[in-house]
């Protein structure tokens, strides 16, 4: 009897089904397109957030999709979290959640900066210094973490395609005295370099350096960086055990400062010059919260601050938050470009999200930023220049005239062609490119 071959048995159908299945599986996993290499953003991705009861996995997928529309692929995240990976030291590390984050990120083309959120309390002395009997346990954890994600082919995470190259210790130094942090970062840097000699060690946790602190009675002081360098010099001389100086700057967090980024970067560079060494500067966090009286001010300020800081030779910068990290009402609550009403709901995009997306898309094509006048910056590459214009906060803004026709684009990406004589600077930035008459 003749055997009838079912449709499913046919090789051609099986191949077509496989292609269809793969195409369905790739939906939502397409890599991020062109992105500025010097612009990134902070997230709260870690093992503890991924395994949260209220949809941590869905939140991660949602935020990866946000990054695609934001045109940003550089992410700084608290991945090196001892409390989440190896909270029970005798049980050994649990890499499963962190591995899932790294795998999902690499499928999207995301480049990660791994932050160790803080120094472990269990390994400290009463003075905050590393406990000689316990610091090696922490250093061993750092070495194993770096070794797992450094991409050198030795003890790597299975399936690792995009190595993590940058590592940072501590989000905030205000709770650690400079001499104590100097000892911690030395141990941290030694552990990182032992596992991956070419990795970048970021000296982080400096908040508003050189600027008066919000709380004058607190532990943070404007000269913390200089004190930290002096403490390191006692052990290392000028061979500082870090590759990059990372600092955060929140211009509206404290008393008004006319030029906060210039003040902060100038202080950091002078402190290094006084000690005869130099390191690149990374602004590891900057931003503004959503003000109830002016909810759209966040969008305009982030565009202005990004361009301003870049012209001060800040090599990389990371916006403070992709989504709100803390509930609204806290001091660092509504800083995100997006927010969730409920943890398991899709993120809602603020005006700042669209404003940064428009800026990042332009910077991916015209990445060179040049200061021209107060409130006037130029973006260049091989294309015709794009100018970014706003009314600066000074008593007498400079006078300028534009001739001919110009394409004018707002923070929301909407464009129109306007005669140059009719263009006025406003507090909110606009993008200008020369155009032809629309008539």
In this predicted model, what pLDDT tens digit does every residue of 330-384 receive, in sequence order? 445 688 999 988 766 789 999 999 999 999 999 999 999 999 999 999 999 888 9
pLDDT at 237: 59
What whole-number percentage of the chain has pLDDT above 90? 56
pLDDT at 53: 55
214-230 pLDDT, tens digit each: 666 666 778 889 999 99
Phi, psi of 409 (to 5 degrees): -120, 130
pLDDT at 1: 39
* pLDDT beyond 60 at 284: yes
The alpha carbon of residue 277 and the mean position of all alpha carbons in its chain are separated, in whole angstroms, by 26
Mean pLDDT, the chain, whole residue set: 85
pLDDT at 246: 95
Q: State the pLDDT confidence band at 329, using cuts at 50, 70 and 90.
A: very low
* pLDDT beyond 60 at 193: yes
248-279 pLDDT, tens digit each: 998 877 666 778 999 999 999 999 999 999 99
pLDDT at 4: 37
382-397 pLDDT, tens digit each: 889 999 999 998 777 7
The C-alpha atoms of residue 38 and residue 360 are separated, in whole angstroms, by 10
Q: State the pLDDT confidence band at 19, using cuts at 50, 70 and 90.
A: very low
What number is the average pLDDT over the span 403-421?
95
pLDDT at 3: 38
Nearby residues of 229 by Cβ (< 8 Å), 6 or more positions away: 240, 271, 272, 275
What number is the average pLDDT over the span 198-221?
82
Nearby residues of 330 by Cβ (< 8 Å), 6 or more positions away: none
pLDDT at 69: 96
- pTM passes above 0.85: yes
What number is the average pLDDT over the span 37-53?
88
The C-alpha atoms of residue 213 and residue 99 are separated, in whole angstroms, by 38
pLDDT at 217: 63
What whole-number percentage of the chain has pLDDT above 70? 85
Phi, psi of 265 (to 5 degrees): -65, -35
139-168 pLDDT, tens digit each: 999 999 999 999 999 999 999 999 999 999
> Residue 303, exposed/middle/buried by CB under 10 A (0-12, 13-18, 19+)?
buried
């Amino acid at each position: 009897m003749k055997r009838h071959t079912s449709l499913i048995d046919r090789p051609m159908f099986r191949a077509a089904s496989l292609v269809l299945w793969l195409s369905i599986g790739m939906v939502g996993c397409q890599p991020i397109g062109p992105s500025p290499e010097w612009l990134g953003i902070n997230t709260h991705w870690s093992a503890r957030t991924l395994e949260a009861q209220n949809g941590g996995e869905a939140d991660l997928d949602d935020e990866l999709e946000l990054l695609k529309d934001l045109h940003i692929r550089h992410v700084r995240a608290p991945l090196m979290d001892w409390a989440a990976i190896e909270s029970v030291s005798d049980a050994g590390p649990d890499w499963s959640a962190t591995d899932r984050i790294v795998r999902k990120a690499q499928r999207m083309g995301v480049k990660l900066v791994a932050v160790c959120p803080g120094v472990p309390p269990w390994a400290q002395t009463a003075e905050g210094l590393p406990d000689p009997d316990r610091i090696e346990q922490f250093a061993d954890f750092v070495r194993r973490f770096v070794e797992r994600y450094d991409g050198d082919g030795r003890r790597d995470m299975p399936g690792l395609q995009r190595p993590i190259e940058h590592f940072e210790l501590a989000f905030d130094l205000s709770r650690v005295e400079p001499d104590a942090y100097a000892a911690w970062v030395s141990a941290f840097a030694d552990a990182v370099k032992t596992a991956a000699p070419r990795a970048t060690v970021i000296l982080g946790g400096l908040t508003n350096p050189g600027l008066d602190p919000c709380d004058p009675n607190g532990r943070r002081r404007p000269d913390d960086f200089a004190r930290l360098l002096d403490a390191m010099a006692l052990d290392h001389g000028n061979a500082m055990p870090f590759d990059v100086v990372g600092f955060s700057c929140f211009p509206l967090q404290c008393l008004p400062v006319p030029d906060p980024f210039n003040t902060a970067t100038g202080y950091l560079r002078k402190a290094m010059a006084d000690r005869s060494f130099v390191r690149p500067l990374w602004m590891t966090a900057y931003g503004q919260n959503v003000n109830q009286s002016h909810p759209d001010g966040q969008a305009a300020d982030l565009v202005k601050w990004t361009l301003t800081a870049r012209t001060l030779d800040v090599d990389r910068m990371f916006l403070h938050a992709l989504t709100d990290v803390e509930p609204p009402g806290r001091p660092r609550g509504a800083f995100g470009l997006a927010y969730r009403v409920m943890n398991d709901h899709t993120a809602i995009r603020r005006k700042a999200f669209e404003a940064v997306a428009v800026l990042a898309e332009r910077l991916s094509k015209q990445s060179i930023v040049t200061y021209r006048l107060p409130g006037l910056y130029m973006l260049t590459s091989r294309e015709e220049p794009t100018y970014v214009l706003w009314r600066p906060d000074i008593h007498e803004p400079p006078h300028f005239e534009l001739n001919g026709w110009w394409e004018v684009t707002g923070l929301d990406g909407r464009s129109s062609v306007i005669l140059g004589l009719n263009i006025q600077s406003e507090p909110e930035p606009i993008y200008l490119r020369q155009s032809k008459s629309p008539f």
